[in-house]
Chain A
Amino acid sequence: QSALTQPASLSGSPTQSITISCTGTSSDVGGYDYVSWYQHHPGKVPKLIIFDVTKRPSGVSNRFSGSKSGNTASLTISGLQAEDEADYYCCSYRRSNTWVFGGGTKVTVL
């Protein structure tokens, strides 16, 4: 079960926007609209920020948005803030009640 492919790291200045890609296959990202994204500050609990490709849970900032094209999903963080510095993981449903995470992207706010 290969992990989904994410860039290892990305950085941006405050107020800028960054986009994290998450590439899978037609058996996961491309085959289902069940892509979710998680923000993980080291030492803390992962937090769901996007589900069903584009939806935000209640209480999550609208600076976070999700999209998908083919086998690649994306998370965009607009108006970067210092507190956005964290690790971000995509996750996709992959047939027969299995799931797969991406390798994670470390976001640095310059």
Chain B
Amino acid sequence: QVQLVESGGGVVQRGGSLRLSCTTSGFTLSNSGMHWVRQGPGKGLEWVAFLRNDGSHKCYADSVQGRFTLSRDISKNTLYLQMDSLRDEDTAMYYCAKDTLDALDIWGQGTKVTVSS
């Protein structure tokens, strides 16, 4: 059974850093592209970042480019999102999602990030 579990969220000060983890099971991480998507309070879904299955190609939304960094550890079946220089507008629920045929077919439960001043 395919499963994604996010962790690492919490409260962080403006300008601070946080690393989110997405632990996967039931499929081979090296064979799948993976996304991060977020939803701010009272807002809609926003695509954040994508890591292609070969691990070489990483893409980011303009709103996080240069501040967020994707990585993964195949041996731990885990995807990471390093978030630096956090801003108030980064406050959101963060979801990781598995890519299949350019759609996000399996989602985790999400981890909440709050940026405080």
Interface residues of A (CB under 8 A from B): 1, 3, 32, 34, 36, 38, 40, 45-48, 51-52, 57, 87, 89, 91, 93, 96-104
Contacts and interface: CB of A to CB of B under 8 A. Distances in A.
B102 to A, nearest CB: 4
A34 B52 CA distance: 16
Contacts of B95: 45-46
A57 to B, nearest CB: 7
11 contacts: A3-B44, A34-B102, A45-B110, A46-B37, A46-B97, A47-B107, A48-B104, A48-B105, A51-B105, A98-B47, A98-B59
Given A45-B110, A46-B95, A99-B50, A104 B45 contact: yes
B109 interface: yes
Interface of B: 35, 37, 44-47, 50, 52, 57, 59, 61-63, 95, 97, 100-105, 107-110
A98 B46 CA distance: 12
Instruction: Specify which of B63, B104, B108 lies most central, judged by the most chain A CB atoms within 10 Å of its CB.
Output: B104
B102 A93 contact: yes
A79 B52 CA distance: 38
Contact of B104 (A3, A38, A97): A38
Contact of A91 (B52, B61, B103, B110): B103
Contact of B50 (A87, A98, A101, A103): A98
